[in-house]
Amino acid sequence: MLAQLDELYAESLEKLKTAASTATLETWYKETLGRKGAVYLMTRQVGQLTPTERPIFGQQINKIKDELETAYQARLTAVKTTELDAQIAASAVDVTLPGRRPVRGGLHVITQTMREIYRIFGDMGFQVYRSPDVETDAYNFEMLNFPPHHPARDMQDSFYTTHPDVILRTHTSAGQIRAMRAYHPEPVRVILPGMCYRNEQITTRSSIQFTQVEGLAVGTNITFADLKGTLTEFARRLFGANRETRFRASYFPFTEPSAEMDVTCFLCEGEGCQVCKYTGWLEILGSGMVHPVVLRNGGYDPEQYTGFAFGLGPERITMLKYGINDIRLFWDNDLRFLQQF
């Protein structure tokens, strides 16, 4: 009987040594020292022993029980440590790895173009004047000499609001009246940048928003020569010192006379290419002398004051500069496009 006990002890110790996880240790414990484990089953055999054998057997069984218990605890601690080490190793932070750079934002390419435009006009004494995106029909059209049913409104298919006279501005020209009223009776020399909203089906293929930079100069003795000089200087600073400009007669309700300005194509230097459609010229902006009606609506007496105005599209300038062929890319918010600039 005692020999059996020794055998159980030896066997159990051996098994314990090979148990390599807390789960197998748990099973081992159940089978060995548990309530129905091997050691317990041995104690039940005491009845078969003689009275003299019993205390010796009892002592021996208690001894191996204690020893197994101690061995189990030691093994459990060791296995737990190994498991923890493995877990730490698996999910370790490798402090020697190079750091991950935070993603840096950048300026939208249109913002970059706008800032370049501000800088050039800033050098020529123009201040940036901000006016609202949400406008009234009066500022956007009527005071700019577009009467309610004027056909020129057809070119600016507008976004209306639930309020009968409130629209999203279709052009930055709406700010002209606001600027004049703010500066009167001082001379005005401002640029008005910002987003414009209109439904464009033909020229820009379903785009509904784009930016403009408007310019306005009002004062005494301002002539068409000032308009040409200022805008030609602008074109040369933006597109290169040997740019030539030409002015073609045009029509806008708020200017008289009106003109569109072209610059010699900076891609082919006027030779003729796909971008300038083999004309050698690129249309850059609309302009003109401020209409007397508009001057009066701004508070200036047209007998005493004159002025010029212009409006240009940063998207168009950016498209020409980088060879971008779809205006919708600018406001689609596709990072693959935006990150290139």
Question: Exactly one of 175, 270, 307, 311 binds ligand DAH (CB under 6 A); which one?
Answer: 311
Of 67-75, 118-126, 203-211, 280-288, the window that binds ligand DAH (rule: CB under 6 A) is 280-288
By CB under 6 A, what part of segment 16-55 binds ligand DAH? none
What are 207's strand-pairing partners? 200
Q: What is the 3-state secondary structure (H, E, C) of 259-294?
A: EEEEEECCCCCCCCCCCCCCCCEEEEEEEEEECHHH
Work out whether 309 is an interface residue with ligand DAH (CB under 6 A).
Answer: yes
What is the DSSP-derived secondary structure letter of residue 44? G
In this structure, the number of other CB atoms found within 10 A of the CB of residue 157 comes to: 13
Nearer to ligand DAH, 9 or 247 (CB): 247
Amino acid identity at 171: H
Q: How far is the CB of 210 from ligand DAH (least distance, A)?
A: 9
Q: Does residue 178 interact with ligand DAH by CB under 6 A?
A: no
Among 65, 75, 169, 171, binds ligand DAH (CB under 6 A): 171
Q: Which of 12, 140, 145, 173 binds ligand DAH (CB under 6 A)?
A: 173
Burial class, 221, CB count within 10 angstroms (exposed 0-12 / middle 13-18 / buried 19+): exposed
Please, which of residues 214-273 interact with ligand DAH by CB under 6 A? 214, 252, 255
DSSP string computed for 92-111: ---TTSPPPPPPPP---HHH
Rounded Cα–Cα distance for residues 39 and 63 (Å): 11
Q: Which one of residues 287, 297, 306, 318 is an interface residue with ligand DAH (CB under 6 A)?
A: 287
Using CB under 6 A, which of 253, 270, 288, 307 touches ligand DAH?
Answer: 288
Residues that bind ligand DAH (CB under 6 A): 171, 173, 214, 252, 255, 286-288, 309-311
